[in-house]
Amino acid sequence: MELTTERILNIASVFRTEGEPVSAVPFGGGHINGTYLVTTETGKKYTFQSINANVFKKPHEVMDNIALVLGHIKQKVKDNGGDPKRECLCPVKTINGELLYTTDDGGYFRMYSFIEGNVYDSVEKPEHFYCAAKAFGKFQNYLSDFPAEKLHETIYNFHNTVWRFENLEKAVAEDKCGRLSEVRDHVDFALARKAEAGKVLKAIEDGSVPLRVTHNDTKFNNVLLDDNGEGICVLDLDTVMPGSMLYDFGDSIRFGATHAAEDEPDLTKVDVDLELFESYTKGFLESLGDRITEGELSLLAFSAKLMTLECGIRFLTDYLEGDTYFKVHFDKQNLYRTCTQLKLVWDMEQKMDQMEAIVRKYAK
């Protein structure tokens, strides 16, 4: 059912808000869930979301993970003299005391207190990227003693790059939409790098890289910044699961260490900015401190390439299958997204020695 303003306000009224919800407008630019800014009659603001159950098959497990992680982070913030209401997300419960509201037609909805701050879709200043890195590094630091096995795997094989390649090969073989001929070069480029897909998975299996609680979607626009550019808190915890810190670092670089949009049609604008890479690496490792292992350090620069390659083949797979997973707003948007990611992979390969040197520069 369509989410009209009236429907949003009716559902929002089920949550324990300060005053009756009176307005709702679309908010943010996420690919998966529907997000709205709800304001009550008292002027209090809330972030209201409809959860995409096609992506998150078990929304209750998603919220279980979020509640566990936020509870741990809030205590850490308190222990460090911070403000939990500002430095981490605060879910709003329903009048029945639940974190998730389910409608009769199968819709899933949740609400957070709105935190004032700034979200940027691209990095405008290196110092902003540095501050975002500190926020994600602190996130990892706070959760370094949380037992990852307590969390549900809410999206099976989410960062299993080997499995992502299997999906790509299946999409290529089926060619449901007749699009293979126009992307054959992209497919060949990706498959030529298939042998590297399992590096992090193997490292977790042999114990050289620890299993951790990871955010798994550490884009620059998932950190809230204040007016001075300092990180306030980490947003969008839907994909918090057991995983590797390398996934978080790598995805941040993939998204933030370039000046090009994710769907930039002009590939001459797409490259990895080593100044931004250095800013992020410095901030991330400073906040993380001695929580990082030698095994993780050895794969840190490579993780940027791995996550970019993974994202590229996910966009490519979705394009071949008819744009069924990621939201698209114009024709061939997933193809443009594919091209930017694969161009970044190529550029990272040219700069990998420099990236490795930067990691070692800031390693403690």
* The CATH number of domain 126-362 is 3.90.1200.10: yes
Instruction: State the pLDDT at residue 2.
Output: 64
Looking at the chain, the whole-number percentage of residues with pLDDT higher than 70 is 99
Residue 1 has pLDDT above 60, yes or no: no
CATH architecture of 5-113: 2-Layer Sandwich (3.30)
Helices (H) and strands (E) in the chain, counts: 11, 9
Q: How far apart are CA 264 and CA 124, in angstroms?
A: 16
Asked if the domains at 5-113 and 126-362 fall in one CATH topology, the answer is no
Could you identify the residue written with the tokens 């798994």? 216
pLDDT at 297: 97
**In this predicted model, what pLDDT tens digit does every residue of 181-217 receive, in sequence order?**
999 999 999 999 999 999 999 999 999 999 999 999 9
- pLDDT above 80 for 10: yes
For position 123, what pLDDT does the model report? 84
Domain range list for the chain? 5-113, 126-362
Structure tokens at 20: 């009756």
Find residue 38's DSSP bridge partners.
Answer: 24, 46
3-state class (DSSP) for residue 104: coil
| Residue 165 CB contacts under 8 Å (≥ 6 apart), including other chains | 190, 191, 194, 197, 313
Q: Given this model, what pLDDT does residue 125 score?
A: 84
The predicted-structure confidence for 126-165, as pLDDT tens digits, reads as follows 899 999 999 999 999 999 999 999 999 998 899 999 999 9
The confidence score (pLDDT) of residue 153 equals 93
Contact 276, 358 (CB under 8 A): no
pTM of structure: 0.90
DSSP 213: E
Model confidence at 39, pLDDT cuts 50, 70, 90, reads very high
Each as own residue / partner, the long-range contacts of residues 148-153 (CB below 8 Å, 24 or more positions apart, any chain) are 148/211, 148/212, 148/213, 148/242, 148/243, 149/211, 149/242, 150/68, 151/65, 151/68, 151/69, 151/213, 151/240, 151/241, 151/242, 152/58, 152/61, 152/62, 152/64, 152/65, 152/241, 153/241, 153/242
Strands laid side by side in the 101-102 sheet: 21-26, 34-40, 45-50, 108-113, 101-102
**Partners of residue 113 on adjacent β-strands:** 46
- Asked if residue 24 lies in contact with residue 11, where contact means CB atoms within 8 angstroms, the answer is no
